[in-house]
Structure 1
Amino acid sequence: MRTKAVALYGKKDLRVREFDLPEIGEEELLVEVISDTACLSTYKATILGEDHKRVPENLEEHPIIVGHEFGGFIVKVGDKIKEQFNEGDRFVLQPAMGLDNGYSAGYSYEFFGGDATYCIIPKVAIDLGCVLPYNGTYFANGSLAEPMSCIIGAFNANYHTTPYVYKHEMGVKKGGQLALLGCGGPMGIGALDYAVNGNLGIKKIVATEIDQKRIDRLKKLIPPSAAKEKGIELVYVNVGEVENQMDHLMELSDNQGFDDVFVFAAVEPLLVLADSILGNDGCLNFFAGPTDKKFTVPINLYNVHYASTHIVGTSGGSTDDMKLSLKLTEEGKINPSMMITHIGGLEATPEMILGMKNSSAGKNAIYPHISLKLTSLEEFEEKGKTDPVFMEVHRLIEKHDGIWNEEAEKYLLENLSDQ
């Protein structure tokens, strides 16, 4: 099978590569990728190249396909696994393989990654149950099940204790107060969606950003009135307009401090702030992964000892987390597409990945089978003035309150395919 893929040849060296995939083995799958959503982790692997813990050392001879948040169709099934899989079935990939060497899709394999028209899923991923059946027909939300699983996993990782009973009660505190700091980016939006609609029993959520445009978008996506219907008080705060952030946030917690605090940017002042607004037995979840291996910040160890505050961090979600993400999405309880701000084809991917660090974009949805420069959802209207296809895409986006959706995806795939 001929494939076109975005491959990593070394540090900051991404190229669109077209080549013939080898014949699949008896316990492998050939799959067609319909969508892949971009992750900042791919940027980190691109910058570090062979120095990244998941990237092999021989990139020049065996470049790896990037991209790990993907789904599509099973094209061909190896002879020994025909009872497990059927050609033509839809799937999504769980890339967190948990191997001792850290290898996983999108980081470590020459023929296994999401930024490709076709790829091969190897036996090791199949044996680990990483190929999940997908009942939906909207592929972007299928791809986004992976980042949503990371969010669900992070919420599961938080814990609380009873005084003098040193047993962890896992998860965010029921009936508690939650602060989401710097949550205007894609993962923060997904976390807010899950916090409001995941039936977690949270009483109050305070969501902060420093950019008013991001605050306005958050309010549009998840208005406080919608949270109120779930019995949750949702408060948005533009901390750029607050003189003393700690005092203001503590007042919003009734000066009790927050039971759970999530931090979505690897910025020292934000983490110091998070530590300062923890309540008794408060749990700080450092969600944003830094690229600096020596990244440290001061924390209040007095409170660790006397107020039982604690810090957790996670990277990735489990298969069960991903299954829950798919279930909540299929039931319409969460909508991961709220994270998406840009759409593009395969050719747009290298520049998009290399520009991630300085981008304020949300999730970028890549469709390997279309030809399209990276385009924000808002840009489709302007492009539509000279192209009726883009105007129809714009109409379908507006029909769904400015959110990327299945109708727009289907129309785009039918009208911009370069195959």
Structure 2
Amino acid sequence: MKTRAVRLYGENDLRLEEFELPEINDDEILAKIISNSICMSTYKAVIQGARHKRVPNDVADNPTLTGHEFAGEIVEVGADLKDEFEVGQKFAVQPALNYKGSPYAPGYSYPHFGGNSEYAIIPKEVMELGYLLKYEGEAFYEASLSEPMSCIIGGYHAVYHTESNNYIHKMGIVEGGKTALLGAAGPMGLGAIDYALHADRKPSVLVVTDIDQDRLDRAASLFTQEEAQKQGVELHFINTADLDDVPAELRKIVDGDGYDDVFVYAPVRELVEQGDQILGKDGCMNFFAGPTDKEFSAEVNFYKIHYSPTHIMGSTGGNDDDMRESLKMSAEGKINPATMITHVGGLDSAADTILNLPDIPGGKKLVYTGIDMELTAIDDFKNKADQSQIFADLAEIIEKHNGLWSEEAEKYLLKKCK
């Protein structure tokens, strides 16, 4: 069968093409991709091409499908898998395969397996690993965003704390402790706020910093003081742009005691150093943001590391259990990944969006692969209402949902657009 997809041929070489998919083998699955959210990791792969560790050296002759934050429905099941999977089943995929030590992953490495495509073939290794995950919810975008949410969740699980005189690492944030999210009013930061407020293990104090007041205002409108109080969390949004001594101001909020858990959501030296300076005794800092500069560094206080002791670590993603947790929480309505989405488009907009991703403001860009639609900011739907009844209707739907993308908006778009 034929499919349309955005394929990678080399550095900055993306092409939207129609081509023939082969018949699936008995240990493979044919899937219809419904949605794919675009990740900065895809941009990094595109600008590097074959130099990227996950992109094959022969990509110029054997192009690969882009996109790894995708969700869809099973269309055909290979003979060997019919007892385990069925046609029509909704799914998401944990893309960090690491199959037998291989760096290959969907969205980077496979000619027929990626998210920016109408259809894809899921290879045997995904099922062998147990990484084809059943999704019980209704909205496909929530399943797409389970991948970035799983990275956030993994970060919360990966931090650790110790016991004096015992060689024990207790994993996870301190329940009822003090948590700071630095540079965290962007899309991943919003997901981190959502999870902190609604996970089973919560802090008692949550401080969110950024230097962009508009982003902070949006975050505060999505996660209100009232909602935080209901969850037993004291929530603060702090613009650090004009503060003379950021660590001192942040420590004041917690009576000078310092923070148990600090997450750095932007690869900025000042944020790393602020995070180190606000750690309390046995505090743990997770450098979550992935820098592109291999020489990126910052100063940290090794006196505190030795005597307090504070801990510094980093996490780059989540595992399949983190993704299952995200899917479950979304399906149960405990978290709302729509807070991360600021733009929506069709498959025809995916290539330009990836190539220009660092210059497009806002949060997550969501692509519906079965339609054509220019990438459009959700806030611009109302401005484009006179151009299209679809934009007019979507604007009304968005307004009903506190300015957020929603299951209702998704179903309407998929019904109306071709």
Q: TM-score when scaled to structure 1?
A: 0.98
Alignment of 1:334-345 (within 5 A): 334-345=335-346
Amino acid at match of 2:228: A
Deviation per CA, 1:36-72, whole angstroms, max 9, x where unpaired?
1111111111112112111111110111101011111
Alignment of 1:380-391 (within 5 A): 380-391=381-392
Amino acid at match of 1:98: N
Amino acid at match of 2:177: G
- Three-state SS of the structure 1 residue aligned to 2:168 is strand
> Whole-Å Cα distance in 2 between the matches of residues 359 and 270 of structure 1?
23
> Whole-Å Cα distance in 2 between the matches of residues 6 and 271 of structure 1?
36
Amino acid at match of 1:254: D
> Whole-Å Cα distance in 2 between the matches of residues 28 and 19 of structure 1?
19
Alignment of 1:142-221 (within 5 A): 142-221=143-222
Match of 2:124 in 1: 123
Match of 1:349 in 2: 350
Amino acid at match of 1:71: A
> Whole-Å Cα distance in 2 between the matches of residues 297 and 339 of structure 1?
29
Match of 1:255 in 2: 256
Matched-pair contact (CA < 8 Å) for 2:346–2:372: yes
Q: Shift of the alpha carbon at 1:166?
A: 2.2
Match of 2:88 in 1: 88
- Three-state SS of the structure 1 residue aligned to 2:381 is helix
Alignment of 1:32-71 (within 5 A): 32-71=32-71
Amino acid at match of 1:244: D
Deviation per CA, 1:164-193, whole angstroms, max 9, x where unpaired?
222100000112100000111111000000
In the TM superposition, structure 1's runs of 4+ consecutive aligned residues that sit over 4 Å from their partners are: none
Match of 1:25 in 2: 25
Match of 2:269 in 1: 268
Alignment of 1:284-323 (within 5 A): 284-323=285-324
Q: Shift of the alpha carbon at 1:368?
A: 0.7
Amino acid at match of 1:63: P
Q: Shift of the alpha carbon at 1:293?
A: 2.1
> Whole-Å Cα distance in 1 between the matches of residues 47 and 362 of structure 2?
19
Matched-pair contact (CA < 8 Å) for 2:204–2:233: yes
- Three-state SS of the structure 2 residue aligned to 1:378 is helix
Matched-pair contact (CA < 8 Å) for 2:273–2:300: yes
Deviation per CA, 1:76-117, whole angstroms, max 9, x where unpaired?
111111111111221111112123121111111011000000
> Whole-Å Cα distance in 2 between the matches of residues 56 and 307 of structure 1?
46
Q: Shift of the alpha carbon at 1:238?
A: 0.8
Q: TM-score when scaled to structure 2?
A: 0.98
> Whole-Å Cα distance in 2 between the matches of residues 247 and 359 of structure 1?
34
> Whole-Å Cα distance in 1 between the matches of residues 50 and 103 of structure 2?
13
Match of 2:239 in 1: 238
Q: Which runs of 5+ in 2 are unaligned?
A: none
Matched residues, number: 417
> Whole-Å Cα distance in 2 between the matches of residues 358 and 303 of structure 1?
38
Alignment of 1:364-403 (within 5 A): 364-403=365-404
> Whole-Å Cα distance in 1 between the matches of residues 342 and 311 of structure 2?
34
Matched-pair contact (CA < 8 Å) for 2:32–2:72: yes
Match of 2:283 in 1: 282
> Whole-Å Cα distance in 1 between the matches of residues 279 and 314 of structure 2?
16
Q: Shift of the alpha carbon at 1:360?
A: 2.6
- Three-state SS of the structure 2 residue aligned to 1:6 is strand
Amino acid at match of 1:103: Y
Match of 2:359 in 1: 358
Q: Shift of the alpha carbon at 1:141?
A: 0.5
Report sequence identity in percent: 47
1:331 matched to 2:332? The reply is: yes
Q: Which runs of 5+ in 1 are unaligned?
A: none
Matched-pair contact (CA < 8 Å) for 2:138–2:331: no
> Whole-Å Cα distance in 2 between the matches of residues 241 and 329 of structure 1?
37
Amino acid at match of 1:205: L
